[in-house]
Chains A and B, each alone.
Chain A
């Protein structure tokens, strides 16, 4: 069984790293929603009626929840929300890889879509899933223990 460290400095660093990634990613996309909408459309999952709403709503969501995670406000809930977000994104990425689509995740602004960029995003996603899941579990445990 894999054991994750519970050292408070490690957890603080993890919160800053993961929260920082989401704040940065969200801030990059707030300024160019059209590029992000184009990136979302390459996944061929959402209908046109939802693409622009996601392109407008997701970047502020990432900034807001990422900032809450960094500052440890609603830490458990923020970690849970980000975990669901990255898990959902991993499913979208996997279906794109299986279908052989050239996708650009648009995570940090737009870039030319390639099959490789999907794999790179997927690897980064695995790290984020593990980190968010761990922060969520630790927060639950510490509250129960208290």
Chain B
């Protein structure tokens, strides 16, 4: 156990120092990944697709309808435009990424990919259904990755008909800029599948941390109580939302405070994760803050709804008197 986690960290170090695609010790390029499949063209699927494509690997993204697939493509182009404005990429980088990613509604196209990453909503039944269908269309040796932050890999894997070839990889948004991935083994995940996942992490320049199946893994489990506590501080009238975020960003050099972070993720999503953790673990520390529940019921879901703990103009926090939402 210790051995494998150390190996893991080493792989992470190499991934940080090494260039894309090259294993420094052998000079061997990771050509085993030529084309990856992604199920789900939502925020996560799109973000993973962008990273995979910018690292030189072709991608097929499958959505449930051609209309949704087209919209996902537009959304990817929008994301790239925003990065271009921020000088993060160049016009040719954008062209290369868009040329490498194909959006379709036909799941059967994934049969021709080297590995499939499932990124549909954090809903156990939905993910099991995707696994079942992937199991039908893809050759039996193909590995499926499920991107989840809280759900049971073992349970999702069972639906695929090849549980030894399923593993969890929890990518974090924005995938191109977040150097971490949590690699989660289910009960039946084979060593070979695990090694392949590490190779993928390396090819994507991610530091991988191995996690044993447990709700929330590392980052979600540690983060959620912090967000929840920030909400309690506001609810109890201890401090304003503005000051909670100000204090936390200045004190811990965070780019975004916990409440704005929650707004940006989506308060409904945060509540879903909290609910799930609370139910799975049964510990009261994961009980969603009543203020969070209230905001979600009111439809104040955060950035995407234009208001949550704060008010938003598009993607930016609103300025002046309107900046803090009345709660």
- Do A and B interact with each other, yes or no? no
